[in-house]
């Protein structure tokens, strides 16, 4: 885990195996009042300077495409970039990888008799 200023950068690729009862419901802390719940599974938690932090993986993650601008800052890609063949190819590759991970997990569970 690598901390950067007030945020953190944590990368974990691949599937996380977890039982159904490990799924937790979270709500955003927006000021709008109408928070939308989402589901996630805790990866780890820790205390730092008296505050409790938790890192989770969403059950149904979203995929964002980001581009570094000329100043080196990452920005969410504009819609027209989403038609670029390189971007489409990278998204397809990630989707295929995720499907393979899910197939591998299902096969492992069936071999171990967990289903």
**Per-residue pLDDT for the chain (115 aa), expressed as one digit of tens each?**
444 444 445 555 555 667 778 888 877 665 555 667 778 888 778 888 999 888 777 777 677 788 888 998 888 888 888 888 988 888 888 888 877 877 887 787 788 875 4
* Structural domains in the chain (count): 2
- For residue 9, the enclosing domain spans 1-60
7 & 41 share domain: yes
Secondary structure of residue 19 in the 3-state scheme: coil
- Which pLDDT does position 53 carry in this prediction? 84
HEC profile of 31-66: CCCCCCEEEEEEEEEEEECCEEEEEEEECCCCCCCE
Give the per-residue pLDDT at 3. Answer: 43
Same domain, residue pair 31 and 85? no
pLDDT at 1: 43
The span from the first CA to the last CA of the chain, in angstroms, equals 33
Q: Among 40, 60, 80, which residue terminates a domain? A: 60
pLDDT of 83 reads 85
Residue-level pLDDT at 79: 82
What predicted TM-score, i.e. pTM, was given to this entire model?
Answer: 0.42
Do residues 50 and 67 share a domain?
Answer: no
């Amino acid at each position: 885990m690598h901390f950067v200023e007030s945020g953190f950068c944590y990368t974990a690729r691949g599937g996380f195996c977890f039982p159904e009862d490990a799924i937790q419901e979270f709500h955003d802390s927006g000021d709008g009042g109408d928070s939308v719940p989402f589901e996630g599974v805790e990866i780890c938690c820790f205390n730092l300077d008296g505050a409790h932090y938790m890192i989770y993986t969403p059950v149904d993650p979203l995929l964002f495409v980001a581009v570094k601008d000329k100043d080196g800052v990452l920005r969410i890609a504009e819609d027209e970039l989403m038609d670029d063949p390189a971007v489409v190819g990278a998204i397809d590759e990630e989707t295929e990888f995720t499907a393979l991970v899910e197939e591998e997990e299902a096969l492992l569970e069936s071999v171990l008799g967990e289903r």
